[in-house]
Each structure stands twice: as structure tokens, then as C-alpha cells.
């Protein structure tokens, strides 16, 4: 299952056209940035799943860029098309014990805990 999800993310990214300019994640579109969250596949589907260290590192890296970027990535079409549950994905920073996370940040219909 995890391998299929990663393969889907790679194929989805290959089909994306590069967008030039600044957005939530700078010059990198959120759909492409979502590929960095591949190690979070199981943690983004199951709220009881412990995120891997690779997942936590990816979330920390994206979150340092900006809360807007992290939100855009978690709500991106790539994430949605791969079956990621946004209500579960937004809990990953807390489950990773990231101290400097955007607590209370409104992310679409969700609020980061």
C-alpha cells in the first residue's frame, strides 16, 4: 500500500507543469512539495500511527518555510488524490512533537492542533 502511494505521488508529480513565481511554497508548487511528505503516507491516513523520523523531518522542513506552505501541501491535489486525510495530516506536526509548529493556524476547514 505504501509503495503504491509513493508511486502514485511520483507519477502525479511527473504530470504537473512547473509553475513559475511565488506562491505559498515559493517557486515550488504545493503539489510538487507534497512529494516530500511521502514518508508520511501511513501517518497521514491513521491518526494512531506514529510518524517516522523521515516524516517528521519533512514536516519540520516544510513548516519552517511557512505555515501557509505546510497547509497548502497538506490540502494539495496531490495529497488528496493519494488518499491523504487532511484532518489526520494536520495532526502530524503535533504527533512529531514539533515545538515551533503553527498551533491554531486555520488550514482550510481545519485548525492545526
Q: What is the pTM of this model?
A: 0.74
Task: Please give the pLDDT value at position 72.
Answer: 93
Which residues span the domain enclosing 103? 2-111
Tens-digit pLDDT profile for the chain (113 aa)? 443 344 344 334 433 333 345 688 989 999 999 999 999 999 999 999 999 999 999 999 998 888 899 999 989 999 889 888 889 999 999 999 998 887 888 888 888 78
Distance CA 78, CA 8 (A): 9
* Structural domains in the chain (count): 1
Half-sphere exposure of 52 (CA within 13 A, CB side): 9
Task: Please give the pLDDT value at position 46.
Answer: 92
Amino acid at each position: 500500500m505504501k509503495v503504491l502511494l509513493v508511486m502514485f505521488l511520483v507519477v502525479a508529480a511527473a504530470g504537473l507543469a512547473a509553475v513559475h513565481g511565488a506562491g505559498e511554497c515559493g517557486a515550488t508548487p504545493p503539489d510538487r512539495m507534497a512529494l516530500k511528505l511521502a514518508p508520511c503516507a501511513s501517518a497521514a491516513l491513521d491518526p494512531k500511527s506514529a510518524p517516522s523520523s523521515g516524516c517528521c523531518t519533512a514536516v519540520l522542513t516544510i513548516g519552517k518555510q511557512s505555515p501557509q506552505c505546510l497547509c497548502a501541501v497538506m490540502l494539495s491535489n496531490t495529497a488528496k488524490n493519494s488518499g491523504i486525510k487532511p484532518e489526520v495530516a494536520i495532526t502530524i506536526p503535533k504527533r512529531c512533537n514539533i515545538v515551533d509548529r503553527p498551533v491554531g493556524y486555520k488550514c482550510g476547514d481545519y485548525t492545526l492542533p
